[in-house]
Amino acid sequence: MFSNTYLPHVGGVARSASGLVDGLRAEGHNVLVIAPEFDGAEVDGENVIRIPAVTNFSASDFSIPIPLSRKIRRKVRDFDPDVIHSHHPFLLGDTALRTSAELNLPIVFTHHTRYDIYSHYLAQGSRRFERLALSVSLGYCDLCDEVIAPSESIAGFLRDNDMAAPITVIPTGVDPAKFEGGDGKKAREIYRIPDTAFVVGHVGRLAEEKNLGFLTSATLKFLAKHPDAHAIFTGDGAERDKMLARVRWAGLADRVHFTGILRGDELRDVFAAFDVFAFSSRSETQGLVIAEAMMAGVPVIALDAPGVREVVEDNVNGHLLPKNCSENLFAEELARFSLLEDSERRRMSTEAKRTAQDYSIANCNARMISVYEHLKGRHTKNAAADKYEWQRTIRGIATEMKIFGNYAQAFGGAVFTLRQNKNIPAKESL
C-alpha cells in the first residue's frame, strides 16, 4: 500500500487505507504500508515504512512525502508482494508505479479524491491548477491495471472523462464495532447537554472544502430559533477558528461544542449522542463519515452530491436536500426533523443501520480481495517470463516515460485549454 496520508492523520483517505489494511490483516493477509512521516506517528514498524516528509504543508494537516527509492526498493523486495495498491496519483503514487514496473506486479489505484476541488491548498483556487490536478489524476488512472471508485458517482465521472482503465466500484468499509453501541448519555454529560436536548452532530476534518461555512450558518440559524437544541462538531482543522468565532459572535458558544479529534469509545459515544448528523460537503467521492453515522443509527441530513446520494435515501434513512439549497432551507430541515415523532425517528434510525450494513468492512474488503486475486492470476504468466535484468530496466524506462508524459500532457492541456476557453470545465456529470 502506497499512501500520502495514513494514521494518525484524520481524514477519509487515511481512514480508508487503514481500514482496508486492518481488514486484510484480520483475514490473514500480509500488508506492507508505505506512508509519510506525520506528527505523532510511530517510526518504522514491521508493517509500516515511514518516508521523510514536509509536515503541515501549506498550513494544512497534510504531510508531503519525499520518496527515497532505495529504502523503498529494498523493503518491498524483501516483502515480496503479489500486488501494489496506490491511494494517490502523485508523489508516493508515482513511486508505486515504479515499484509495480520493477517487480512486474499489477497495480490498483483507488480514486479517493477530486483533486481539482482541493486546489486552494496550493494555488488559491486557480482554474489552471484545477485543470492540471484533474488531468494528472485521470491520466494516472490509465497507467494502472484497475481503478477502484468508491461510489457510482465517481465511476460515472471517470467514464465521462474518457478514462480507459477498468473500473470497479467498492466503497470504503466501515467497522461496526467502532460505531455501534455508544453511550450517548455519557457524551452528553461531558459536554453538559441535557438528556432531552435535540443534538445536531457533525464529524470530520474542519477544512474549507467541506463547505463548513454553509453548515455553520445553517446550524446557527436553527439554534437561534430552538433555544433547547445543541450542536456538536467533532474534528479539527484550519476552519475551526473561523467557525468558533462565528459561534461566539452569535452568542451561542454555550450550545455549540467543539470536541477536537476523538477516537475509540469517545468517538462512538459522541455519535450516540447525536439525534441527526448534518453534512454539507459537495466534494466527497464517498460519504464515508455518513456511513459511519448510520452504523451508529443516526439519520442524516445532507446535500445531494456525489458520494452522498448513494448513501442517503430521502425520507428513508434521512433527508437529501438540493445541492444548491440555501442555508435557510437547511436550517428549516433541521427544525422539521427535530419535530418528528419519536416513532418516525426510530424508523429512520433502523433504516440507517440497515443501509450501513452494505458498507461493512467485511463486505467491502471481500470485494477488494476478489480484485487482487483476479489481477494476481492475470499477471502470473507475465511474471514467469521475467528472467533478465534488462527486462526490468526496459520496464522502468517505459514507466518513467509514461509518468513524465502524463505530467507533460496535463500541464500542456491546462495551459492551452484555459487560453482557448476560460470556462473549461472538464466533462462534468456530477
Domain CATH number, residue 272: 3.40.50.2000
Q: Which pLDDT score, from 0 to 100, does residue 428 have?
A: 43
In three-state secondary structure terms, 316 is coil
Which of 357, 385, 412 represents a domain boundary (last residue)?
357
Which of 357, 389, 406 represents a domain boundary (last residue)?
357
Mean pLDDT, residues 395-408: 75
Q: Is residue 368 part of a domain?
A: yes
pLDDT exceeds 90 at position 144:
yes
Q: Is residue 222 part of a domain?
A: yes
Same domain, 141 and 268: no
Same domain, 217 and 285: yes
Q: Is residue 425 part of a domain?
A: no
For the stretch 193-223, pLDDT in tens is 999 999 999 999 898 889 999 999 999 999 9
Q: In the numeric block, which cell numbers belong to residue 135?
A: 488531468
Give the dihedral sign, CA 408/117/284/96: positive
CA distance 100 to 368: 18
Same domain, 104 and 140: yes
Residue 25: domain span: 12-173+361-420
Same domain, 143 and 265: no
Q: Which pLDDT score, from 0 to 100, does residue 135 have?
A: 86
φ/ψ of 9, rounded to 5, equals -60, 140
How many independent structural domains does the chain possess?
A: 2
Q: Which pLDDT score, from 0 to 100, does residue 38 have?
A: 77
Q: Which pLDDT score, from 0 to 100, does residue 425 have?
A: 47
> What DSSP letter does each residue of 352-380 carry, written as one string?
HHHHHHTTBHHHHHHHHHHHHHHHHHHHH
Q: How far is CA 81 from CA 30, 116, 167, 233, in A?
A: 8, 32, 22, 41
pLDDT exceeds 70 at position 416:
no
Same domain, 25 and 158: yes
Which of 357, 385, 404 represents a domain boundary (last residue)?
357
Same domain, 164 and 299: no
Q: In the numeric block, which cell numbers belong to residue 425?
A: 470545465
Same domain, 227 and 158: no
Same domain, 331 and 210: yes
Q: Is residue 18 part of a domain?
A: yes
Q: Is residue 136 part of a domain?
A: yes
In three-state secondary structure terms, 62 is coil
What DSSP character marks residue 347?
A: H
Q: Which pLDDT score, from 0 to 100, does residue 426 have?
A: 46
- Give the pLDDT band of residue 429 (cuts 50, 70, 90): very low
Same domain, 138 and 211: no
Higher pLDDT pick, 274 / 172: 274
Q: Is residue 3 part of a domain?
A: no
Q: Is residue 82 part of a domain?
A: yes
pLDDT exceeds 90 at position 271:
yes
Mean pLDDT, residues 80-101: 91
Same domain, 291 and 192: yes
Q: Kindly state the percentage of the chain with pLDDT values over 70.
A: 82
**Cell 422539521 maps to which residue?**
336
Same domain, 184 and 166: no
Give the CA radius of gyration of the chain.
22
Same domain, 265 and 116: no
Q: Which pLDDT score, from 0 to 100, does residue 228 have?
A: 96
Mean pLDDT, residues 327-344: 97
For the stretch 288-322, pLDDT in tens is 899 999 999 999 999 998 889 999 999 999 999 99
Range with lowest mean pLDDT among 50-59, 137-146, 255-264: 50-59
- Give the pLDDT band of residue 66 (cuts 50, 70, 90): low
pLDDT exceeds 70 at position 25:
yes
Q: Is residue 56 part of a domain?
A: yes
- pLDDT, mean over the chain: 85
